[in-house]
């Protein structure tokens, strides 16, 4: 082999060996990083903590603030050559604020030098360690509460030279210290000196590089980091800065909410920018826990979706090197779970209704067999009910009513007066109500106070503002500061011990703000807090129906709400006949619009009157009554194919029509259109329960102009309901004879099948109210 070949082989071999060594080092270092595998918390704490000698020669003291001063130290004390030892320092720390059990080592650091920059002591050190020597040493006594750790223990001996710029360090190490200290105990430090040199010595402290004091090498602080996520996905972070030296040990903190990420990626400083959801520094609030400890709190504005998250926290401590960024690191891993499923949701109703109709068809087929297309129409009806069924409220224990009136309450005001505040009285006396819910010691209580204060100045109308403390652990003592700041501008109420009022709201017992209109219905709400501008806009919107308008009925056509009308609006089978006498153009559509509007009004008029008269505080019971009426309508349709009361009213109204119209438009067609209007009202209630009460009731209670507007709105709803019926009738006519034939074949079956559907829908809503909001009360 040539010389160049041997050199190449050696180079390649050397490179391979170096690469293997490098890779093995990387593997070894990687193996030391244990990836997290689940929820929990991990702390990276400092190896040691310190108490520094501070003050001046006349009044020295101990504290835990590492000085960053450079140049000549602030603190110093002189000592001279004497016979025996001379006391320099005899001090005690401030009382401890926490009980501690210290296991570890202790080092006492002393920095001293001569007050002149020469080697005089060195030249006079004839025989070191003898009367002819010039060495310096210190005697240290240290006590931790009742535990005497050091008693006149000598440091190392040094022949001092130089000045403060290169001060000598004198040390005493004590290993395996096991001491228990109680809250209120003192740490005592006594320093004596034996100085054999004729030149003046100086003990220095209170600068960056002269850290005279006590170093505790072991675990001494036990901080706590916790989080809670409310039902709305808003996270609340709490940090308890436990320390035997008090909360001042923690200078600053930076916390970040990160996620969703996988467990193995939850390492400090390892998050991508797009996963950083929130950034906290200055606390949003401060509370005192049951152990009388200070707790710093933060709340996020953003909602957390189900997934895995971490709180990456970094803290700066006063007794650590000022040059470091993070002295204490805490990583809290947690998971936001999917909401627990309800006992029954709308999907089950969507399954139950078709199955019930199929079962009913099977029973009816035993008595008489109809043509198969008739059963096809009924199955189509069952499919069209999937839309209304999917929008039904969930059935679950203590589930609040998400669509409807505000929960009613009667709570006592916190303060000297302790007056009873009732929701019904608020509705009678104010045009709107702004309610702020907050949990114990939540930072949102103060944020709500500021927003309410600004909104109260901007809104000139008669609007009531109240705050309600809800949730677990509500304590009247926690409300004192808030009540003092509010200073009587609005009442602060305390929820019942079981938080029944807070749980009745859609946000449940969590931080949130609600704007209630004059009829008692929720106009707008937001988790956490609501800005003053948003409050003003929501109050203004509540005067005009909170966004509910008659035109919304036409908008619902393109959704699934009115799908059952595709089947219910099928004609009876009669062919279109030209009237014998001249009638107004489009007389058939006009009659359909008129009769279906009347059918809609039969349902909407009493609901409108009840809301205008201020029955909003009892609306939960009104909805129970409505559910019972829907069940009755369904059973009546199922048994006899009609509703007696509707038919009586319909026949009276039909009799008032001019005779040519009665001759051309049969009574059964008029009643069918009335029923269509009634079904439109029920379907609207199932989809948007607060539509009519807010658009008519709240508007009618907002003054004389509002009363006139609500009348216009009422007739507008009647007109739109009639127009919806006309649209469905027209579409089915345009399709042709096919729908007419199907309608004639199923004319006796459709009302009964729909009656069964209505009964099931009514029972579902009734059970959801009885097991949900009514049970909370």
* Per-residue pLDDT tens over the stretch 417-461: 778 999 999 999 999 999 999 988 788 999 999 999 999 999 977
> Max CA-CA distance within the chain?
144
Percent of the chain with pLDDT over 70: 92
Q: Predicted confidence band at 16 (pLDDT cuts at 50, 70, 90)? A: very low
Q: Predicted confidence band at 1 (pLDDT cuts at 50, 70, 90)? A: very low
Q: Parallel, antiparallel, or unpaired for β 410-412 and 328-336?
A: unpaired
Checking if the pLDDT of 174 tops 90, the result is yes
H-helix segments, 117-180 = 120-124
* Per-residue pLDDT tens over the stretch 663-700: 888 899 999 999 999 999 999 999 999 999 999 999 99
Burial of 608 (0-12, 13-18, 19+ CB in 10 A): buried
Phi, psi of 36 (to 5 degrees): -65, 150
Residue 427 structure tokens: 């509705």
Helix, coil or strand: residue 257:
strand
Q: Predicted confidence band at 6 (pLDDT cuts at 50, 70, 90)? A: very low
- DSSP secondary structure letter of residue 300: E
More confident: 53 or 402: 53
* Per-residue pLDDT tens over the stretch 151-162: 999 999 988 887
* Per-residue pLDDT tens over the stretch 47-57: 999 999 999 88
Q: DSSP string spanning 668-729? A: HHHHHHHHHHHHHHHHHHHH-TTHHIIIIIIHHTS-HHHHHHHHHHHHHHHHHHHHHHHHHH
Q: Predicted confidence band at 273 (pLDDT cuts at 50, 70, 90)? A: confident
H-helix segments, 62-207 = 120-124
Tell me what pLDDT residue 672 has: 94
What separation in angstroms does the CA of 1 have from each of 4, 5, 8, 11, 366?
8, 6, 11, 15, 103
* Per-residue pLDDT tens over the stretch 639-664: 999 999 999 999 999 999 998 888 88
Q: Predicted confidence band at 139 (pLDDT cuts at 50, 70, 90)? A: very high
Q: Report the chain's mean pLDDT, rounded to a whole number.
A: 88
Least confident segment among 28-32, 202-206, 659-663: 28-32
Checking if the pLDDT of 8 tops 70, the result is no
Q: Predicted confidence band at 117 (pLDDT cuts at 50, 70, 90)? A: low
613: left (phi over 0), alpha (psi -120 to 50) or beta: alpha
Checking if the pLDDT of 402 tops 60, the result is yes
Burial of 94 (0-12, 13-18, 19+ CB in 10 A): middle
The answer to whether the bond into 260 is cis (omega within 30° of 0) is yes
Q: What does the pLDDT average to over 115-135?
A: 69
Tell me what pLDDT residue 345 has: 87
pTM of the shown model: 0.80
Q: What does the pLDDT average to over 478-498?
A: 89
Q: DSSP string spanning 34-49? A: PPP-SSEEEEE--SEE
Tell me what pLDDT residue 162 has: 76
With b for 16 or more beta-carbon neighbours within 10 A and e for fewer, the 653-673 pattern comes to bbeebeeebeebbeeebbbbb
* Per-residue pLDDT tens over the stretch 510-565: 999 999 999 999 999 999 899 999 999 999 999 999 999 999 999 999 989 999 99
Q: What does the pLDDT average to over 205-216?
A: 89
Q: Predicted confidence band at 27 (pLDDT cuts at 50, 70, 90)? A: very low
Checking if the pLDDT of 11 tops 70, the result is no
Q: What does the pLDDT average to over 262-271?
A: 90
């Amino acid at each position: 082999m040539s010389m160049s070949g041997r050199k190449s082989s050696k180079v390649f071999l050397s490179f391979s060996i170096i690469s293997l060594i490098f890779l093995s080092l990387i593997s070894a270092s990687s193996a030391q990083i244990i990836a997290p595998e689940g929820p929990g918390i991990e702390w990276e704490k400092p190896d040691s903590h310190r108490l520094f000698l501070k003050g001046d020669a006349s009044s020295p003291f101990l504290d835990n603030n590492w000085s960053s001063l450079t140049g000549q130290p602030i603190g110093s004390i002189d000592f001279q050559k004497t016979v025996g030892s001379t006391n320099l320092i005899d001090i005690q720390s401030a009382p401890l604020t926490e009980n501690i059990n210290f296991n570890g080592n202790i080092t006492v650091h002393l920095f001293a030098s001569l007050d002149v920059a020469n080697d005089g002591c060195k030249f006079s050190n004839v025989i070191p360690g003898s009367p002819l020597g010039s060495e310096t040493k210190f005697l240290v006594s240290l006590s931790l509460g009742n535990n005497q750790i050091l008693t006149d223990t000598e440091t190392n001996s040094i022949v001092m030279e130089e000045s403060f710029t290169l001060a000598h360090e004198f040390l005493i190490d004590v290993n395996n210290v096991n001491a228990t200290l109680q809250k209120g105990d003192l740490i005592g430090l006594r320093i004596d000196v034996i100085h054999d040199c004729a030149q003046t010595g100086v003990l220095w402290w209170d600068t960056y590089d002269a850290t005279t004091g006590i170093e505790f090498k072991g675990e001494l602080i036990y901080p706590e980091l916790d989080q809670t996520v409310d039902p709305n996905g808003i996270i609340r972070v709490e940090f308890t800065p436990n320390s035997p030296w008090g909360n001042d040990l923690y200078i600053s903190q930076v916390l970040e909410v990160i996620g969703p990420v996988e467990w193995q990626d939850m390492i400090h400083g390892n998050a991508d920018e797009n996963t950083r959801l929130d950034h906290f520094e200055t606390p949003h609030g401060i509370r005192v826990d049951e152990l009388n400890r200070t707790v710093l709190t933060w709340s996020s504005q953003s909602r957390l979706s189900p997934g895995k998250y971490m709180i990456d926290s970094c803290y700066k401590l006063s007794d650590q090197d000022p040059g470091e960024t993070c002295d204490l690191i805490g990583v809290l891993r947690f998971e936001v779970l999917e909401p627990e499923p309800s006992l029954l949701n709308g999907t089950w109703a969507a399954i139950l209704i078709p199955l019930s109709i199929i079962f009913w068809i099977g029973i009816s087929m035993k008595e008489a067999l109809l043509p198969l297309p008739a059963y096809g129409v009924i199955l189509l009806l069952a499919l069209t009910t999937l839309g209304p069924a999917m929008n039904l409220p969930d059935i679950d224990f203590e589930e609040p009513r998400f669509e409807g009136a505000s929960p009613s309450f009667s709570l006592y005001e916190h303060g000297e007066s302790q007056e009873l505040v009732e929701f019904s009285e608020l509705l009678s006396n104010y045009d709107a109500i702004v309610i702020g819910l907050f949990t114990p010691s939540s930072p949102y209580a103060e944020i709500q106070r500021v927003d309410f204060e600004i909104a109260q100045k901007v809104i000139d109308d008669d609007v009531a503002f109240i705050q309600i403390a809800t949730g677990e652990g509500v304590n009247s003592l926690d409300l004192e500061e808030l009540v003092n700041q509010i200073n009587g501008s609005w009442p602060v109420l305390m929820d019942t011990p079981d938080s029944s009022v807070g749980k009745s709201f859609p946000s449940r017992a969590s931080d949130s703000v609600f704007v209630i209109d004059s009829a008692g219905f929720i106009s707008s709400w937001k988790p956490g807090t609501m800005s003053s501008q948003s409050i003003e806009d929501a109050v203004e919107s509540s005067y005009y129906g909170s966004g509910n308008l008659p035109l919304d009925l036409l908008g619902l056509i393109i959704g699934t709400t009115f799908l059952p009308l595709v089947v219910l609006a099928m004609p009876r089978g009669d062919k279109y006949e030209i009237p014998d006498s001249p009638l107004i153009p489009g007389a058939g559509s006009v009659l359909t619009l008129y009769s279906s509007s009347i059918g809609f009004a039969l349902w909407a008029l009493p609901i409108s009157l009840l809301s205008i008269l201020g029955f909003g505080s009892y609306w939960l019971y009104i909805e129970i009554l409505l559910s019972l009426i829907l069940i009755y309508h369904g059973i009546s349709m199922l048994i006899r194919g009609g509703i007696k009361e509707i038919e009586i009213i319909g026949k009276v109204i039909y009799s008032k029509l001019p005779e040519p119209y009665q001759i051309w438009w049969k009574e059964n067609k008029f009643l069918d259109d009335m029923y269509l209007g009634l079904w439109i009202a029920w379907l609207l209630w199932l989809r948007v329960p607060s539509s009519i009460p807010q658009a008519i009731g709240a508007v009618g209670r907002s003054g004389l102009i509002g009363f006139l507007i609500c009348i216009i709105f009422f007739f507008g709803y009647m007109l739109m309901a009639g127009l919806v019926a006309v649209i469905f009738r027209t579409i089915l006519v345009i399709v042709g004879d096919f729908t007419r034939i199907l309608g004639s074949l199923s004319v006796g079956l459709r009302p009964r099948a729909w009656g069964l559907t209505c009964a099931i829908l009514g029972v579902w809503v009734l059970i959801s109210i009885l097991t949900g909001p009514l049970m909370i009360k």
